[in-house]
Every structure is written in C-alpha cells, then in structure tokens.
C-alpha cells in the first residue's frame, strides 16, 4: 500500500463487495443492514419475555482455562488484501466519533463484516496505544474487543466485531421499563468488567453501545473500546474514584435517555450559585426499582453516587428477576438430545455461533454462567441437574446426566466447559446450513484450501494437542478439505 500502483489496485478493490453466495442464495449474514434512522424497536414482539431479566449475566470469565494461553494480537500488513471497504452502497454504514471515522469492511472470502477504526501513525500516542491493545485483551460477553490489527505505511486498522443493530441512540424513549433495565444491566456488566481491570472509559454515550442485530435484539455490546488504550506511557495507576464515578454517571444518563427520550433538566436554584440541581422526570407507572437505580447513578455529589459494583448488584436483584424457564426449555432439550462430539466439532460450533448468531450465544452464556455457582468455568453433574429442575417441563425431558457428561466432557473429566455446553445446547438445524458451513470453511481455511490447526488458531484460541488429536481420530490426517469438513459437521444433526 506504499506505492502508487498499489493504491490504484486498492481503490478498485474498495468498490467491490465480495460475497460467498450466488445471487439467488442470500445468506442470513448478508441481510440488508438496518439504517440508524429507520430502526423501529418493536421489542414487544421479541421472544424474550418482558418479565424476565435476560441481562443478569455473571461477570466472570467464560474461558478461564485459556487465559494464560492467549496469544498477542499480531499486526499484519495489507488490510484490503483481506477485506473490502463498504462505500457508496445502500447498505453501507459509517459512524463519526469525534474526529475519527469508523467504517465497516467485509471479508473477501467469508463475507463476514468487521468494524474498523483507524489510527494515524503520525499520532504520537499511536505506538503506545497499539502495544497496550496487544497486552490487554478484553474478554466480556458485552464488549466487542479489538481482534485484529492491520497496517499500511500511514495507518493502523483496528478490527472488531460488527453489531448490525446500530447505536442505542435510535431507541431513545421507545422502550419499556423492563427493556431499559435489561440493556442497562448489560452495559453495567461491561463497564464493571473494565473497572475490575483498572480501566476507565470516560466517554460513554448512547453511541458507545450497539445492538447485536437488527432483529428486535435485547442484547447490546460496547463497541468503542480503542479510547481505553489512549494515554501516556507511564505504568498504569489505578484510576481515581472520580474517574470510576464518571462512567457510572454516563451509564445513568444513557439509561435515563433510553427511558424518557430526554436528558435531565438542570436548573440553578440561586443566581449566584454555580452548582446546578438536576431534575429527573419519570412517567407515571415507571418501575420504582428502575427510578431508584437511575437516581443513584445520576447523583451529582460523587461521594454519594452509587459505585459500579453496587449498581451491578442492585440490577441483578431487581424486581423482574423471576423464573425464566421459558428461555431454558429449548437449550436444555437440545442438550438432552445431543450426540457425542469431539474437540474439533466443539470448537467449530462455538465459532460458528459467535459469527452467525450472537444473540443465541449470549443466551447460552447466560444459562451457563447462572448455573456455574462456584465460578470455576465448569458445569458439574449437580449444576446441570439443578438447571433441569429449574424448569417446569423437567419431568417431560428424558435426560441422563451421567451419560450427558460422558458425551461432552472432553477437556475436563466429570464436567463440561462453556464451549462444550454451547455446542450441545444450540439449534443445529439453523447453524449447519450449507451457507454457514461454506462461509465458516472459507474463513478458516489456509491458502491451499484446507482447514488445519495452524489455520484455525489464527482466529480461535484452541488446545492444539486436542485439536490435532481429534483430526487424527476422525480422518487419520491433520487437514480437512471442504467435503470432509461438511461431512464431519453434519454427523451431529
């Protein structure tokens, strides 16, 4: 990208959006993205009950066993050799955050979309920022972490997952109390995770969070994470109470705007007094617990404002935390009917769910985390039995817990981890379609058209020994072509 000839090729490529399907076979991942100004949140029609607090997801690591195995994010050259830039298209999507322009790119082979933020190499903080990103990888179900870094002669390109539902700003004043509580709980969980890592955002707005999809989603993620890494090169010192409290206030402001559609009213009671009093207006019938938590988050006096951890605890105990057996029925039924699977299948299924149905992934993470009472990242027999007994239809589901453990416990004896649970509890009928299988293979294959341990570990954190071992047991070799890949995956249906 340094020479003139390269730039000409790059410009030409930017005008092309490469998909993996024929015109008549439009995959779900290529839905026309909903424009911010036309999002209509008909959330009352969602399959998630308003009386269920779907956002109370534990803030524990979902991959504790892999924490020490994380590889540093590598910097690669030539972004547009891999991705095409959306531009001048009806479904193009761009954001402007302060002086930064955020763009969406599409993988030239798989069609998977990514959100891209650029950093100018002339910026004095650029190198320090990149180093911090490489050393501090984020892992929370409500945060879109930076997953890839590319560079050319002028810029760094920071890639993160794309949430197609758009900014929460489109939902101002359009939500029920219960829906605001659900989204607020998710946002608090995300920022509480950052505070545990001694990281403060400091610039939270409605645009900081995007809905996972445009299908009446009740799940959102923090998307603007690059600002977390800007700063001086000194050793990190824990932020002050004022810094932490600023994030609390910002989330309170977001929640208030989602609920009322307006910002709080500020007035001065005395003309010579510099202090402003904040007036909060709530509609008649607004949930008392939601009003109480928002007032505490928007308290003007910092020493009286609620902390993020306290907010998280109060939200988890809110009055809508009732039995959510309706949510559990299908996943636990799929779990009871699952076929035995190997490590390769477990890894691929978890990857496919993350790429093609993040709403279902969040729901399964919630179920897993709620059941993992000792927070060790594993479900034991008693944990799984407790899950089944928590639903009314338990007696009608024929499940042998001991047999279930034997079918799924690959990495740990007598217990299953998050990926094993997800792989057995999801809807395989939708996920193992030809479109998704083909897209997944093209994303993970190497240049010779094979899936190998090396090609997969570029995108997925895996146990290399178990991965290679499972391939040997399946095919007696260390690589798979597309027909072999589809054959292995469809054995699970």
- Judge whether 424 lies within some domain: yes
Rounded to the nearest 10 degrees, the angle between the axes of helix 358-371 and helix 343-356 is 120
Token pair listed for 163: 């949430």
Q: Model pTM?
A: 0.66
pLDDT digits (tens, 9 = 90+) for 305-344: 999 999 988 887 664 444 456 677 889 889 998 999 999 9
pLDDT score at 44: 30
Task: Read off the CATH number of the domain in which 230 is found.
Answer: 1.10.510.10
Q: Hunting for tokens 């949510």 — which residue is that? A: 327
| Alpha-carbon span 264 to 248, nearest angstrom | 15
Strand partners of residue 356: none
Tell me which residue range forms the domain holding 257: 170-316
Q: Hunting for tokens 């009671």 — which residue is that? A: 269
| Least confident window among 108-122, 150-164, 243-257 | 108-122
Query: What is the pairing mode between strands 277-279 and 265-267?
Result: antiparallel
User: Is the domain of 194 the same as that of 243?
Assistant: yes
- Structural domain count, the chain: 2
CA-wise closest residue to 368 among 380, 352, 355, 354: 380
Give the count of alpha carbons within 13 A of 140, CB side only.
Answer: 25
pLDDT digits (tens, 9 = 90+) for 347-391: 999 999 988 888 888 889 888 988 888 888 899 999 998 888 877
* Summary mean pLDDT of the chain: 78
DSSP string covering 190-249:
HHHHHHHTT-------GGGEEES-TTT---EEE---GGGG-S-SSPP-PPPHHHHHHHHH
- Please determine, for residue 281, whether its predicted confidence score (pLDDT) is greater than 60: yes
CA-wise closest residue to 200 among 138, 231, 243: 243
Domain C-terminal end among 270, 288, 316: 316
CA-wise closest residue to 282 among 299, 301, 262: 262
Most confidently predicted of 85-94, 263-272, 351-360, 416-425 = 416-425
User: Is the domain of 336 the same as that of 458?
Assistant: yes
- The larger pLDDT score, comparing residue 411 to residue 115, is at 115
pLDDT score at 287: 87
User: Is the domain of 464 the same as that of 335?
Assistant: yes
- Please determine, for residue 43, whether its predicted confidence score (pLDDT) is greater than 70: no
Strand partners of residue 114: 105, 161
User: Is the domain of 372 the same as that of 426?
Assistant: yes
- The model's confidence at residue 269, banded by pLDDT at 50, 70 and 90, is low
- The model's confidence at residue 266, banded by pLDDT at 50, 70 and 90, is low
pLDDT score at 216: 61
Domain C-terminal end among 278, 294, 316: 316
pLDDT score at 493: 85
| Alpha-carbon span 319 to 491, nearest angstrom | 44
User: Is the domain of 421 the same as that of 334?
Assistant: yes
User: Is the domain of 209 the same as that of 358?
Assistant: no
Which residues, other chains included, contact 360 with Cβ-Cβ below 8 Å and sequence gap of 6+?
Answer: 353, 426, 427
Task: Read off the CATH number of the domain in which 427 is found.
Answer: 1.10.238.10
Domain C-terminal end among 316, 351, 381: 316
User: Is the domain of 346 the same as that of 475?
Assistant: yes
pLDDT digits (tens, 9 = 90+) for 398-444: 788 888 998 898 888 789 999 999 999 998 988 999 999 999 999 99
- Please determine, for residue 195, whether its predicted confidence score (pLDDT) is greater than 80: yes
pLDDT score at 393: 64
- Please determine, for residue 72, whether its predicted confidence score (pLDDT) is greater than 80: no
- Please determine, for residue 2, whether its predicted confidence score (pLDDT) is greater than 80: no
User: Is the domain of 482 the same as that of 340?
Assistant: yes
| Alpha-carbon span 315 to 324, nearest angstrom | 16
pLDDT score at 87: 53
User: Is the domain of 481 the same as that of 334?
Assistant: yes
CA-wise closest residue to 197 among 232, 239, 146, 235: 239
pLDDT score at 100: 59
> How far lies 349's CA from each of 121, 143, 224, 342, in Å?
38, 21, 28, 11
- Judge whether 126 lies within some domain: no
| Alpha-carbon span 443 to 109, nearest angstrom | 7
- Please determine, for residue 6, whether its predicted confidence score (pLDDT) is greater than 60: no
């Amino acid at each position: 990208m340094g020479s003139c000839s390269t730039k000409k090729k790059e410009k030409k490529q930017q005008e092309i959006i490469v998909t993996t399907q024929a015109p008549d076979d439009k995959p779900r991942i290529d839905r026309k993205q909903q424009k911010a100004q036309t999002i209509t949140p008909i959330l009352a029609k969602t399959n998630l009950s308003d009386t269920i607090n779907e956002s109370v997801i534990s803030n524990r690591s979902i991959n504790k066993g892999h924490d020490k195995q994380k590889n540093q994010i590598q910097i690669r050259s030539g972004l547009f050799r891999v991705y095409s830039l959306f531009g001048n298209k009806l479904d193009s999507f761009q954001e402007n955050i302060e002086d930064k322009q955020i763009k969406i790119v599409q993988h030239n082979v798989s069609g998977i979309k990514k959100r891209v933020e650029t950093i100018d190499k002339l910026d004095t903080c650029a190198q320090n920022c990149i180093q911090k990103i490489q050393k501090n990888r984020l892992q929370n179900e409500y945060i879109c972490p930076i997953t890839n870094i590319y560079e050319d002669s002028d810029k760094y390109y920071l890639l993160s997952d794309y949430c197609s539902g758009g900014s929460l700003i489109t939902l101002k004043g359009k939500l029920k109390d219960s829906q605001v509580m659900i989204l607020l709980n998710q946002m608090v969980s995300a920022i509480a995770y950052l505070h545990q890592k001694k990281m403060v955002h400091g610039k939270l707005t409605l645009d900081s969070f995007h809905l996972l999809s445009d299908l009446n989603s009740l799940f959102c993620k923090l998307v603007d994470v690059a600002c977390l890494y800007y700063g001086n090169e000194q050793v990190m010192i824990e932020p002050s109470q004022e810094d932490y409290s600023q994030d609390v206030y910002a989330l309170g402001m977001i929640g208030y705007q989602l609920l009322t559609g307006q910002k709080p009213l500020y007035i001065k009671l005395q003309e010579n007094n510099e202090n402003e009093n904040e007036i909060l207006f709530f509609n008649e019938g607004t949930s008392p617990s939601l009003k109480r938590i928002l007032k505490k988050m928007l308290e003007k006096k910092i020493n009286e404002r609620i902390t993020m951890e306290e907010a998280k605890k109060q939200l988890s105990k809110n009055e809508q935390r009732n039995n959510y057996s309706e949510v559990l029925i299908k996943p636990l039924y799929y779990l009871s009917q699952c076929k035995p699977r190997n490590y390769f299948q477990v890894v691929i299924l978890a990857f496919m769910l993350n790429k093609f149905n993040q709403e279902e992934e969040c729901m399964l993470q919630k179920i897993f985390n709620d059941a993992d009472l000792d927070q060790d990242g594993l479900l034991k027999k008693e944990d799984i039995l407790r899950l089944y007994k928590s639903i009314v239809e338990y007696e009608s589901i024929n499940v042998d817990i001991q047999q279930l453990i034997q079918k799924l416990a690959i990495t740990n004896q007598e217990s299953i981890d998050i990926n094993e649970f997800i792989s057995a509890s999801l809807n395989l009928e939708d996920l193992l379609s030809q479109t998704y299988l083909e897209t997944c293979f093209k994303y993970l294959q190497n240049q010779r058209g094979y899936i190998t341990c090396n090609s997969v570990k570029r995108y997925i954190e895996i146990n290399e020994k178990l991965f290679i071992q499972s391939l040997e047991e399946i095919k007696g070799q260390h690589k798979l072509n597309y027909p072999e890949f589809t054959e292995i995956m469809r054995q699970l249906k």
